[in-house]
Amino acid sequence: MALLAARLSWQHDDGMPIQITIRGVPEAVRDEMDTRAAVRGQSLEEFLRDELERIASRPANSTWLAVVRGRKARTQTRVSLSQILRACDADRT
């Protein structure tokens, strides 16, 4: 296990940078993240910061599912599995 420590340069409301340290990262995972960063021409720190920002910008799956279920309940929409599959097949042709 490797220690993956990245000093991410986010600024907290009081102007202090926020640091995140992740312990116990398997070396293979660290190496893969380092490779992906290199492909993008980024440092590991830049790559991880971008990935964290991308993850944080999207709703959690449970939040998204709650929104979809709420919309479905409000509209009383009912679509059968066979209708969905037919529409998918139609899109392929």
Please, what's the largest Cα pairwise distance for the chain? 56
Q: Which long-range contacts (CB under 8 A, 24 or more apart) does 20-23 make?
A: 20/52
For residue 7, give the 3-state DSSP assignment.
Answer: strand
pLDDT at position 3 is: 55
Residue 12 pLDDT grade (very low, low, confident, very high; cuts 50, 70, 90): low
How far is residue 42 CA from its own chain's centroid?
18
For residue 20, give the 3-state DSSP assignment.
Answer: strand
> Is the pTM of the predicted complex or chain greater than 0.75?
no
pLDDT at position 17 is: 74
Tokens of 56: 């944080």
25-80 confidence digits (pLDDT tens): 999 999 999 999 999 999 999 999 999 999 989 989 999 899 988 988 898 878 88
